[in-house]
Amino acid sequence: MTNILDTSVTKEILATWYYYRWKIESYFKLLKSSGFNMEEWQQREPIALFRRLLVVSYACVLVWKIANDNSKNGAKIREFLVLLSGRLIERGKEFTHPALLAGLENYIQILDLLSMFSKEELLDMKQELVNIMGMNI
């Protein structure tokens, strides 16, 4: 069903428009609920909102590139990011875009932590957690 009454618009053109609309809706779903929680952003300045939107848009483009990488390495990266995401994937599916995005976010945080702490410091913190919990992790 459509509200377009112009008879010069063919069914094929209309289907193409809805195809692209679905891609845009998928993008906004990533921004709103599946990754970036855009509706909770509290930027008051338009430039701050623009910068944040630019960064998260780049992350979405990166996720789409990873999702469409047909190389053997691409499959390994997708598997790695899904594992890092901690999300369950429906049987028979290799990945979802939200899982790739969540895994990418976790991976970037891990890289950031590795730049802040030495391996020894991380192992010491692990041991402290083991001591606090009373069990090995």
pLDDT digits (tens, 9 = 90+) for 107-129: 988 999 999 999 999 999 999 99
**Nearest CA to 35 among 69, 62, 74, 71?**
62
Question: With a cut of 50, which residues of the chain have pLDDT below it?
Answer: none
Q: Using an 8 Å Cβ cutoff, are 21 and 2 in contact?
A: no
**Nearest CA to 63 among 43, 84, 42?**
84
